[in-house]
Structure formats: C-alpha cells, structure tokens
Amino acid sequence: MEASPDEGSFRQLYQKHADEDGKLRAKELKAFILELSRTEIKEPLRFSTETCRSLITMMDRNRTGGVNFEETLKMWKEVKGYISVFQQFDVEGSGEMKTSELDKLFSTLGFPVNRRVETAIVRRYTDRNNRIRLTDFIIVVCKLTLMYEIFKDQQNKSGSSSSASFSMNEFLYYTMYC
C-alpha cells in the first residue's frame, strides 16, 4: 500500500462525488472508492452497495446516513488497514481467505469473538468452500466495530462491567441500523 493521498487531491475527489449536501451516501461512496483505489493503491476496489452502507454506518457518528469529508478520510485509512490485515491472511493472494484463519484474524484486529459468533459469520458471509472475500470481510469488520461500540455504550449506561441492557426498541433499532 502506498501512503495516503495528499489532502488536496483527496478533497477534490471527495467533492467530485459528494451530494449537494456535501456528503457521500452509498452510491457516491461506491464510485468514490473505485476511483480513489485505482489511483492510490493501483487496484480498483469494487465494493458492493451493501459494503458501502456498512462503511457509512460505521463512520457516520451523527447518523445522517452519509459521511462528511473527515469521516471519509478516516474511513479510507481504516479500509486500507483492513485490507492490509486481510492480505496477511490471504496467503494465495486471491482476494479470499480460508475461514479457518478467522479466529487469528479477529484477534489481530482486537475482536475476541467466540466460536458461536465465528460460526454465525462463516454461515452468513462465506462461499461454499468456506472462504470469505475481502468485501464481505469489510462488512463483518464494520458490523463488529459498530456492535462493540453499541455494547460498550449500553454497558456504561447500565453500570455493569459484563453486560448491557437494551429495551426492545433499542435492540430493534440497533439491529436494523447495523
């Protein structure tokens, strides 16, 4: 991976794709990432709309449904980090990795997921050969990041060190949001 683009060229590309309100939504983010990745990492990242929605949800702190310039800049740095970690475990360089490596990968990222959670991820996000693609991996990381943050927020509100409390509507909201 190369270093981050200079802020001026990043901003110029951001403004080219941003909506009239100055934000990127999933469709705009998809085009932005494709163009940015071609120039910065010399490999076009063709993220799905769902991958872009997950990235927005993870970065959109004020929950506007889009990301502003600063959120996008931070998101791009994180995406490059996720790609770097993924590539460490994609030993064949195929853009996919074996799910038998997920526990090590999640540990590397600081997500202590148990076997049950890992099995749920494998069942939802892998192909018939139990391999996960980069784009699906990024969705998983976005969801885990967001769910950990939500849990920690609720944990702090409840005052418990080992559990969190959610009302039914809070649970439904967070489930739909993630």
Strand boundaries in 67-162, DSSP class E:
96-98, 131-133
- Asked if residue 160 has pLDDT above 60, the reply is yes
Tens-place pLDDT, residues 1-46? 444 457 789 999 999 999 999 999 999 999 999 999 999 989 999 9
More confident residue, 167 or 3: 167
Predicted structure pTM score: 0.87
Quote the pLDDT of residue 1: 42
**151 CB contacts (<8 Å, ≥6 apart)?**
164
Tens-place pLDDT, residues 94-134? 889 998 888 899 988 888 899 999 999 999 999 999 999 99
Tens-place pLDDT, residues 76-94? 999 999 999 999 999 888 8
Quote the pLDDT of residue 2: 43
More confident residue, 8 or 72: 72
Tell whether domain 7-177 is in CATH 1.20.1200.10.
Answer: no
Instruction: Report CA dihedral (78, 82, 85, 89) to the nearest 10 degrees.
Output: 180
- Asked if residue 161 has pLDDT above 80, the reply is no
Q: What's the whole-number mean pLDDT along residues 56-62?
A: 92
Two tokens, residue 158: 């409840």
Q: How far is Cα 46 from Cα 178, in angstroms, rounded to an integer?
A: 21
Quote the pLDDT of residue 154: 87
Quote the pLDDT of residue 153: 87
Handedness of CA 157, 159, 161, 163 (dihedral sign): negative
Q: Would you list the domain boundaries of the chain?
A: 7-177
Quote the pLDDT of residue 7: 79
CA distances, 150 to each of 5, 145, 153, 154, 170 (Å): 31, 9, 5, 6, 10
Strand boundaries in 75-157, DSSP class E:
96-98, 131-133
